Amino acid sequence: MAGGLKEELKYQGTRALDEVDQRGGLVEFHKWFLLRNVPRGLSWLHTLGFCLLIVFVNQAVTGAILAMYYQPGADTAYESIQRITFDHDFGWLVRGMHRWGASMMIVLMFLHMAASFMMGAYKYPRELTWITGVLILATTLAMGLTGYLLVWDQRAFWASVVAINLNGTAPFLGPYISEFLRGGSEYTADIIPRFYALHMLLIPGALMGLIGIHMYLVTRLGVTPAPWKTDDPANDPEAWS
């Protein structure tokens, strides 16, 4: 009996999910994370943070795939990118997604920051959310800086020289920052693996941690009501609890 099999599968499936949930608390987490109350009057401006998350995932996935073909070395980097762009299937597309996604992430980040600022989302009790957001901004800019060199053409090299020297002009610690980025006082072949490790491992690790904290705080503290909706009685924080 087809109906009986369907019923049985549904029963067994639910049971398996229940077993997992009993141990992992997934339903509870799902309710806490996604099925929460939001204030009235949300606008498209409230979606910019989620857009950023999507672009970040795009960067992470396309970056991981590009890393399968990229060869970080002074003699190999440029040629391997030529192969990615012209020889590998859809290489041009994945590289383009990563390259334009990077610009998109910076643009969206400034829009998200402006919207959060205009909504007063930096005010009590969301100061920490704002501070982690600023750290995410700095970390993302560092991603842009370290990723730019990896193309290893003339523009990539000289733009990185300029950026490293720019870091060097910071008072007092500047000379040490530029030495750290350069990996010494000279530009050597080691700068590519150095920037690659920063771009692939160190900075993304920090970025993922910061995004996790940022999203935890957003979930815990709730979405800021739009300033044009603060008169709405439903948006009175007292009424929520």
Partner 1 sequence: MSDAAHTPPGDESAATAADKEMTRGQFMTAATVGVGGLMGLLIAAPVAGMALGPVFGGEEFEPVFVGKLDEFKEGTFTKVVLTPHGDKPDAYVRKKVAFVRKNTQKDGKWSDPFALKGQEEFAVISNVCMHLGCPVQASTSGFICPCHGGSYDADGARTAGPPVRPLDRYIWEKRGDELWATAIYALEKDGGKATHRDPGQHTSGPEQYFYPLQP
Q: Given the rule CB under 8 A, which residues bind partner 1?
A: 74-75, 158, 161-162, 164-166, 168-169, 171-172, 174-176, 178-180, 182-191
Q: How far apart are CA 221 and CA 136, in angstroms?
A: 19
Nearer to partner 1, 171 or 233 (CB): 171
Provide, rounded to whole angstroms, the least separation between the CB of residue 164 and partner 1.
8
Q: In which residue are the tokens 């705080």 written?
A: 217
Question: What is the token pair recorded at 225?
Answer: 């009501």
Shortest spacing between CB 79 and partner 1, in angstroms: 15
* Phi-psi group of 13: left, alpha or beta (phi > 0 → left; psi -120 to 50 → alpha; rest → beta): alpha
Burial of 144 (C-beta count, 10 Å sphere; 0-12/13-18/19+): middle
Q: Which is nearer to partner 1, 41 or 175 (CB)?
A: 175
To partner 1, the closest distance from the beta carbon of 74 in angstroms equals 5
Using the minimum distance from each CB to partner 1, give the nearer residue, 120 or 174.
Answer: 174
Between 120 and 193, CB nearer to partner 1: 193
User: Which CB sits closer to partner 1, 41 or 73?
Assistant: 73
Shortest distance, position 185 Cβ to partner 1, whole Å: 4
CA dist 90 and 82 (Å) reads 13
Provide the sign of the torsion angle of the four alpha carbons 5, 11, 17, 20, taken in this order. negative
Amino acid at 130: W
Say if CB 74 and CB 192 are below 8 A apart. Answer: yes
Tokens of 21: 């949930």
Of the pair 143, 164, the CB lying nearest partner 1 is at: 164
To the nearest 10°, report the CA torsion of 213, 214, 217, 218. -150
User: Measuring CA to CA, which residue among 161, 196, 186, 200 is closest to residue 72?
Assistant: 196
Q: How far is the CB of 153 from partner 1 (least distance, A)?
A: 14
We find the least distance from the C-beta atom of residue 176 to partner 1, in angstroms, to be: 5
